[in-house]
Amino acid sequence: MKASIIVCTRNRASALLHSLHSIVRAMQSAAPAETELVLVNNGSTDNTADIVGTWAKGCGVPVRIINEPRKGLSVARNAGLAVARGESLIFTDDDCTMDPDYIMLALKYAGNDRVPTIRGGRTELGDATDLPLTIKTDLLPRRMQLSTDSPQSRYIGIGNMVFGCNMIFHRSLLQTVGKFDERLGAGTHIPGGEETDYLYRAYLKDIPIEYAPDLVIHHFHGRKSLADGYKLFNGYSLGGGALYLKYLFINAKFCRPFYWDLKKAAKELFLNKNTFMPFIDFSYRDMILCNVKGIFLFASALLQGKRAYRN
């Protein structure tokens, strides 16, 4: 099996087929390479199960539907990883569509890799009426790893190299890096940080991380209001705080952004002005407050003995 495309979904029955149809087109375009779609239903309470069950019977490609009742994106991704058979593991989200040549290009990159690599690509806004968030549109390819680049977490982290909705890695990384940390991510008390955590762990193992802008995903995230945007970055910043605590004694250089953002928050107080994201009313001051809350939430998870993931 050349590639497994892993999609996790929860209560998005009305929009899911749009995403699945695009994945099928990309799988068919990648023929004769052997591919499969692993669809993880993460405890949906709408009619997702009925819709995907009917769709899978006539979609024309190999589909494996997994039911994972435990809530959480990291939990669902790990459930998908447990059954995926592909050499290349391709992650996208249920509110995304992929270009028809995406899988073909992903396999071409993988075939040229000298060592296993984590790779992501360009993420365009699918709906022009959505807020310009959770996208990455620059056209400059780049690559970094521990042996050649210093650990600047702003460069490694989510949004700067790889988005979780546009992420590919070789299955051998599961032995080296492990699975996703189930204490982090959408559906948990810390709704962010799980993807950056995975990149950090890979980076510390000297695994290359690469941005390839010709791998294109279109994100129909549906966030249109100030409140939607604020909630999103609130979650991201909670995750950021959790990672500061997690990596404080592993590699403190990953905690540098907290110092930088703290200085910017102090400047905002002096200027009485939001200098971060005024269009969603989210400031550096908000980020620092959420970071601190995320630190306490992760500390609580540690005190409760919650493990990174279940075997």
Residue 21 lies in a domain: yes
- Model pLDDT for residues 204-251, shown as the tens digit of each residue: 999 999 999 999 999 999 999 999 999 999 999 999 999 999 999 999
The residue from 168, 188, 219 where one domain ends is 219
Domain count, the chain: 2
Give which of 33, 235, 207, 9 is closest to 116, Cα–Cα.
207
Q: Element (H or E) spanning 211, and its range?
A: strand 209-219
Indicate if 239 and 165 belong to the same structural domain: no
Indicate the residue among 164, 191, 219 that finishes a domain.
219
Q: Please, is 149 exposed, middle or buried when counting C-beta atoms within 10 Å of its C-beta (0-12, 13-18, 19+)?
A: middle
Q: What is the pLDDT of residue 310?
A: 65
The secondary structure of 2-58, three-state, reads: CEEEEEEECCCHHHHHHHHHHHHHHHHHCCCCCEEEEEEECCCCCCHHHHHHHHHHH
174 and 95 in a single domain? The answer is: yes
Helix, strand, coil percent values for the chain (each to nearest 5): 45, 20, 40
Kindly give the residue spans of alpha helices, DSSP state H, lying in 39-191.
48-58, 73-83, 102-112, 153-156, 173-176
**CATH number, domain with residue 195:** 3.90.550.10
Same domain, 207 and 247: no
Residues 289 and 181 in one domain: no
Structural domain of 239: 226-303
In a domain, 308, yes or no: no
Please give the Cα distance from 223 to 39 (Å, whole number): 24
Provide the pLDDT for residue 286: 98
pLDDT of residue 28: 97
Query: For strand 142-144 and strand 96-98, is the pairing parallel, antiparallel, or unpaired?
Result: unpaired
The verdict on residue 268 lying in a domain is yes
Tell me, yes or no, whether 196 lies in a domain: yes
Last residue of a domain, one of 219, 245, 278: 219
Give the pLDDT score at 205.
Answer: 96
139 and 21: one domain? yes
Both 184 and 246 in one domain: the answer is no
* pLDDT of amino acid 159: 67
Q: Are residues 213 and 232 in the same domain?
A: no
pLDDT for 158? 61
> Given this model, what pLDDT does residue 149 score?
79
- 35 lies in the same domain as 173: yes
Token pair for 176: 């080296």
Q: Is 311 inside any structural domain?
A: no
Please list the ranges in the chain whose pLDDT falls under 50. Answer: none
DSSP 179: S
Same domain, 155 and 109: yes
